Structure 1
Amino acid sequence: MKYMLLIHHGHSADDTSVWDALSEEEQQAVYADYYAINQTPGVTPGEGLDAAETATTVRVENGKPLVTDGPFVDIKEAIGGFLFFEADDLDAAIALAARIPAARLGGAVEVRPTKQW
């Protein structure tokens, strides 16, 4: 089963207060953790995302695109990035999600199975 792990960074992706409070050694450990996660068999690394304020939302009404600034969905936590993980089961995906530093630094990781279209 393929899972998408959506990484949430607290209330704002722009809020660096948690990161700034880490020592240089702790910051290097976070980098090392993300590197190790990206090297895990079955992981397809994603990318970090820019702030929600930079988003553009597209809807189609009456056959014409309607473009607005900002995110469509109002969420409590800022989405900071994502990755995909091919795993045997949900428990394996949860175990990987628990290794993602954002989950222990005030954020969360949403684990969602993907669909075949």
Structure 2
Amino acid sequence: MNKTTKKLDNNVVKALTLACEEVKQWQIGFEWLTHTARYNHFPGSLMITCVFANDDQVERAVADGLDKKLRQRIQGNLLKAGIKVKDIRRHVRLDSEQSCARQDQGDWQRRIARFEC
């Protein structure tokens, strides 16, 4: 990873860390998030996975419109870091520990690789 790419990745990490810490305080079952990106196709390749404890919490977040609020928070933090994505819905997906355990035997690397842009 060259210096420019490393700096860009650090900016993404900072923006997402801020969003993560804020959303954890919402008490909605959100646990953590991670991202992947191919920086030669950035920002189009940026994929952010927001992880909840179980499927019910994901469904509840969507039903209550908190998924939109979560995406807005992430997009706002990315914008503050100078990173603009065209359609944040394409770049943020919700998932759960429960689904990963059921479908991928808890292997998050394999699971996330399936959803990369």
TM-score normalised according to structure 2 size: 0.38
Instruction: Answer 1 or 2: which has greater strand percent.
Output: 1
Larger radius of gyration: 1
TM-score normalised according to structure 1 size: 0.38
Instruction: Answer 1 or 2: which has greater helix percent.
Output: 2
